[in-house]
Amino acid sequence: MLPEICAGLVILGVTAYAVFGSADFGAGFWDLTAGGAERGGRVRGMIQRSMSPVWEANHVWLIFVLVMVWTAFPVAFGSLMSTLSIPLFLAALGVIFRGMAFALRGQAATINEARVLGAVFAFSSVLIPFFFGAAIGGIASGRVPVGNAAGDMIDSWLNPTSIAIGIVAILTGAHLAAVFLTGDAKRAELPDMIAAFRIRAIGSGIVAGVVALASLFVVRSDARALYDGLTSGDGLLAVLVSGAAGFVTIFLVATHRFGPARFAAALAVAAMTVGWALAQDPYVLPGQLTLDEAAASDTTLIALVVSVGLGMLVLVPSLWWLYRLVLKGTLDEGYEPLDQRFRPS
């Protein structure tokens, strides 16, 4: 029972990061595709305004997942971090550079500095979810064997399943961000930004759904065990829930109900994440290591569960209060197109 509880907590952390972290990364996607400094200034200003209160807090979940896996499933952690060291290192590097660029861009002294920092922020925001998705693809397709760097350091994450999941991760993050930013633009009473992000939310939702469906055919030919898990039993149920939530999200955005659309979009991504876990149950490393085999001693797991329970008493209310203040507009900054202060007087 203890391994299952710890695994559930890991999936909770992965799901939270997939929702909140992906929305942050997706905002960087729209920053990248906004256009030139003047044409994209209003979009980038909206992204800067929306992300500022929460972007650091969202990475709490990444740290939580790493500590949980390291402590509860040490053999699996060592195998994952060694075989998948390249994509995980590149993702971590991207997180560092992305955070640095986002923090400094608002303080840039010249338009050229702002452009360079903006490029670092935007490109990192696209590469991070790809590398994380590629790592997940390597795990889910059974390319991570037990042992220190026992798997192929390249094929473990550069394979059809990993590439497909990496692309889906980029697109779902972009969709989440567009849905969230549409609601933020409505709260800021900016009709042009509502229209801009509403179109992006609908378009990215359709594209993400089509690509996710197409990725199943890639998985079918490259990782049959994963495909079977996603198309039967609880895995299939999670896939159907994700698809239904995606349709509902697009409908809600199209009918200007942006508040409920946030929750529907989050459900679509959460169901996708849970579906991955259900598809490879009972394995931590598919075909290699089951949950019970990977688990640490009962003493360690008991101490971990108690510690997490105590920590959650502080973490959950704090994050709930932060997001509540954000959604109420209490922490909103003044809106300014990002290029405005570089324009001639």
The two three-digit tokens of residue 251, written as one number: 């409908």
For residue 283, the cross-strand partners are 290
Percent of the residues in the chain that have a pLDDT greater than 90, as a whole number: 66
Q: pLDDT-based confidence at 341, cuts 50/70/90?
A: low
Q: Please check the confidence at residue 345 and state whether its pLDDT lies above 60.
A: no
Q: What is the pLDDT of residue 226?
A: 93
Kindly report the pTM of this predicted structure. Answer: 0.91
**CA separation for the pair 227, 216 (Å, rounded):** 7
Q: Please check the confidence at residue 65 and state whether its pLDDT lies above 60.
A: yes
- The reply to whether omega before 53 is within 30° of 0 (cis) is no
**CA separation for the pair 157, 132 (Å, rounded):** 10
**CA separation for the pair 135, 128 (Å, rounded):** 11
Q: Please check the confidence at residue 338 and state whether its pLDDT lies above 70.
A: no
Summary mean pLDDT of the chain: 90
- Residue environment code for 258-286, b if the CB has 16+ CB neighbours within 10 A, otherwise e: beebbebbbbbbbbbbbbbbbbbbebbbb
Q: What is the pLDDT of residue 41?
A: 80
For residues 184-207, give the mean pLDDT. Answer: 93
- Least confident span in 79-83, 103-107, 218-222: 103-107
Q: pLDDT-based confidence at 203, cuts 50/70/90?
A: very high
For residues 99-127, give the mean pLDDT. Answer: 82
For residues 74-96, give the mean pLDDT. Answer: 95
Domains of the chain, start order = 2-342 (1.20.1630.10)
Q: Which amino acid is at 294?
A: A
> Tokens 């529907």 identify what position?
264
For residue 285, the cross-strand partners are 289
Q: Please check the confidence at residue 281 and state whether its pLDDT lies above 90.
A: no
Phi-psi region of 110 (alpha: psi -120 to 50; beta: other; left: phi over 0): beta
Asked if 286 contacts 145 with a C-beta cutoff of 8 angstroms, the reply is no
